[in-house]
Amino acid sequence: MRRVAYGVAIVATVLVGRQVNWADLTDSMFRPSLMAEQFPKIVTIAAKNTLIFTFFGFVGGLVIGLIVAIMRISQATPFRIVGSVFVDVIRGIPLLVWILIIGFGIPIATGARIPGSYGAGSVALAIVAGGYMAETIRAGIEAVPRGQMEAARSVGMTYSRAMWTIILPQAFRIIIPPLTNELVLLIKDTSLVSVLGVTIGTMELTKFGRAASASAFNATPLITAALVYLIITLPMIRVVAVLEKRAAQSR
């Protein structure tokens, strides 16, 4: 079956390739002169801003996710309910909607705005990332054998001290691969921040590529932005694969 699938794919590729005008395709999507024009600003402005949004979103999401994860496993029922509701609501609404709510809805309703050029976008990314990281961190905590907590309590440690010094370090070693994967997803999700409106100095990669493509009436700048995304994300994807392989071997 696999050989048949490969054969069908090759035939389909050949048939499609014969119908494509490669000269027009190259000129409209891979024009070297337009690619060259994107540098260095696509790196010094667009890629830099993408990484800034990613940094704030990931760090904020990690803090929120850790707090919510601990609430989710708390022995206090109100904390568990609040944590569960937070996770369900955050994960049940698309990131784009959260960005619009935080960037436009809350300021319209309350008159309060999150300060800074990166403020609203970073907060939205952090909140949504926190909802997903909370479940990842909770799973990591629950993967640590219960005997670890019991042993720590038996030598006189408080629950909080045992959690921070014994359980969480082991949990984070377990969840490094999925957290790294979350980081890769967050890098790509920064493309949605542009709906809030950005200045030239705060454009991330997707907005930069769209603006340049609209000016040139050519898709080459978008392809260039896609290549920069790959340069950033592919090494991380490989790191995730290596970490997952090592984790599987250690188990």
Q: Is residue 10 very low, low, confident or very high in pLDDT (cuts 50, 70, 90)? A: confident
Type of residue numbered 78: P
When pLDDT is cut at 50, 70 and 90, the band that residue 36 belongs to is very high
Q: Per-residue pLDDT for 111 more than 80? A: yes
pLDDT given for residue 199 in this prediction: 72
In tens, the pLDDT along 71-86 reads: 999 888 999 999 999 9
Cα dihedral 107→108→111→112 (10° resolution): -10
- What are the extents of the domains in the chain? 31-250
Instruction: State residue 93's pLDDT score.
Output: 94
Q: Which pairs count as long-range contacts for 142-147, CB under 8 Å and 24+ apart, including other chains?
A: 142/73, 143/171, 143/174, 144/170, 144/171, 144/174
In which residue are the tokens 């050519």 written? 218
pLDDT of residue 159: 84
Least confident of 6-10, 36-40, 113-117, 244-248: 6-10
Q: Is the pTM of this model over 0.95?
A: no
- For 31-250, CATH number? 1.10.3720.10
- Angstrom distance (rounded) from CA 8 to CA 119: 50
For the cut 70, the answer to whether the pLDDT of residue 250 exceeds it is no
**pLDDT tens profile 156-196:** 888 888 888 899 989 988 898 889 889 999 999 999 998 88
Residue 12 has pLDDT above 70, yes or no: no
In this structure, how many other beta carbons lie within 10 angstroms of the beta carbon of residue 162?
20
Q: Write down the pLDDT at residue 2.
A: 65
- pLDDT score of 242 more than 90: no
pLDDT, residue 204, reads 92
| 228 has pLDDT over 80 | yes
Instruction: Indicate whether 214 pLDDT > 70.
Output: yes
**Is pLDDT above 80 for 8?**
no
Query: How does residue 20 score in pLDDT terms, banded at 50, 70 and 90?
Result: low
- Over residues 124-155, the pLDDT tens digits come to 999 999 999 999 999 999 999 888 888 888 88
